[in-house]
């Protein structure tokens, strides 16, 4: 748990045998709310990433076979990300993810929304990268801050009824 007991932190794990990062976090939400927050570009832009960044959606076609691109902005710095939605299911998203600053570093991501009980859904995300070095670079990049701050914003969107 974080220092604010009401805000859970995501569990971020590196697989010891495969260059995969697994992220798990419970939300007081339905799977449908989490799916909408991940596929609606206006909602997605409100919660993705650290609190000190804003997000602009360049294009967003959230369907199996669609693609996306967004830009994180901090002062005069911009960080662009892009990918393709391979599958959008009822409770699952399979997509690629590329930071344009390292265009050869494509990851394959699977995000699953599992109902735990009547009020809780577990988000399980898995990112498969091309090497252990690439995985370890992601882990040391500060991604933990972006993941936890982003998910805290997502939790607030859900609480407020926006998602």
H helix or E strand, kind and range, residue 87: strand 77-88
pTM score, whole prediction: 0.91
Confidence of residue 50 (pLDDT cuts 50, 70, 90): very high
Domains along the chain with CATH numbers? 11-160 (3.30.530.20)
The DSSP bridge partners found for residue 109 are: 95, 127
Q: How far is CA 136 from CA 11, 18, 124, 132, 160, in A?
A: 16, 12, 19, 6, 35
Residue 4, pLDDT score:
45
Rounded to whole angstroms, how far apart are CA atoms 163 and 156?
9
Q: What are phi and psi of 64, to 5 degrees?
A: -60, 125
Rounded to whole angstroms, how far apart are CA atoms 138 and 21?
9
Helix (H, G, I), strand (E, B) or coil at 91: coil
pLDDT > 70 fraction of the chain, expressed in percent and rounded: 96
């Amino acid at each position: 748990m974080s220092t604010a007991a009401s805000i859970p932190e995501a569990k971020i794990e590196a697989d010891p045998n495969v260059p995969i990062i697994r992220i798990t976090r419970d939300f007081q939400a339905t799977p449908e709310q989490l799916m909408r927050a991940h596929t609606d570009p206006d909602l997605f832009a409100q919660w993705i990433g650290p609190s000190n960044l804003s997000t602009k959606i360049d294009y967003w076609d959230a369907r199996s076979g669609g693609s996306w691109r967004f830009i994180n902005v901090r002062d005069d710095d911009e960080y662009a990300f892009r990918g393709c939605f391979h599958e959008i299911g009822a409770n699952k998203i399979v997509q690629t993810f590329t930071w344009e600053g390292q265009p050869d570093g494509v990851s394959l991501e699977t995000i699953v929304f599992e109902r735990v009980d009547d009020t809780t859904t577990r988000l399980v995300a898995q990112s498969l990268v091309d090497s252990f070095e690439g995985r370890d670079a992601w882990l040391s990049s500060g991604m933990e801050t972006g993941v936890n701050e982003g998910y805290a914003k997502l939790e607030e969107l859900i609480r407020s009824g926006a998602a």
